[in-house]
Amino acid sequence: MWPYVVAALLALFLLRRWHRERQTVPRLSEKHVLITGCDSGFGNRLARQLDARGLRVLAACLTHTGAAQLRAATSNRLHTVLLDVTSSKSIADVTAWVRERVGDQGLWGLVNNAGIAIPSAPNEWLSKEDFVKVLDVNLVGLVEVTLSLLPLVRRARGRVVNVASVMGRVSCFGGGYCISKYGVEAFSDSLRRELRPFGVQVSIIEPGGFQTGMTDPAPLVKGLVRLWERLPAETQAAYGRRYLEKYAKSTALLHRLSSSRLSLVTDAVTHALLSRCPRSRYAAGWDARLIFLPLSYCPAWLSDTILGFFLPVPASGTP
């Protein structure tokens, strides 16, 4: 008896959630959304996707070329602006630019998408500057952009969507990337609780592996080799040349196994922006859902053992 009651209640709960999440907010053509990192990848596709839905997209690009190509592929509703998220002056200029365009209506959506992954390597191969380079873009820049635009988002009782990663759940390689994504998760969690009384929703997108310019193995491997060449002879001997070769091969393999369906991520962002009842977290990609999220709940000894099968063994290490 009780199992049937529980199953019926669960089915009703899932049906109610499905119905609520299908409902979208009204007057899309009046809503402004700012997206960072629109030169390529997720940001570029999302800008075109939201433009096709009739929203007023404010696309922040790093380069003139990226901005021009995006304008050529979209309607005159979409406007581009140059933004370097590591520059406080650039962020202040863009904030003033956004304020002029949204007026008293406020900014409905802020999508923090800009990010970099290089340099990524074993932690011992990296310097403090290597970590700072990634953290400045992926975490500190995201925080400053958000803080600058929050008054406009609060005025619209809108949405903040932060693109993190499943690497913010399970750190699989060294460097600033995974650290930055853990930071994005923490910042987003505290921000969500603080802004809920104002009617502002904060969502986190956790993509798995996707084939974008950021995950292109050629620059990743090239950067890895440069890092290897600057290592002291003692460190090179400890790891061995074969470690470098296997690490580079695993980087290329991960890219080949990654998904090319960027729409899995942009659809999640779109839902977070437009649904009346957005989720706090969205996992995107089969590997995120089936591998990394379950792995994040495993005890450390088990996750370490599983991930250890895929890591090369240093020359002076123990298999």
Residues catalogued as catalytic: 177
Determine contact, residues 100/77, Cβ cutoff 8 Å: no
Spatial strand order in the sheet of 281-284? 79-82, 56-61, 32-35, 109-112, 159-163, 201-207, 281-284
* CA pair distance 115, 153, nearest whole angstrom: 22
Looking only at the bridges linking them, the beta strands covering 32-35 and 281-284 are: unpaired
Distances (CA, A) of 273 to 93, 216, 220, 268: 24, 28, 32, 9
Distances (CA, A) of 293 to 174, 182, 260, 270: 19, 14, 20, 22
304: enclosing H helix or E strand: helix 300-308
Which one-letter DSSP state was computed for residue 168? G
Looking only at the bridges linking them, the beta strands covering 56-61 and 32-35 are: parallel
What 3-state DSSP class applies to 137? helix
Q: Find the helix packing angle between 141-156 and 176-195, rounded to 10°.
A: 20
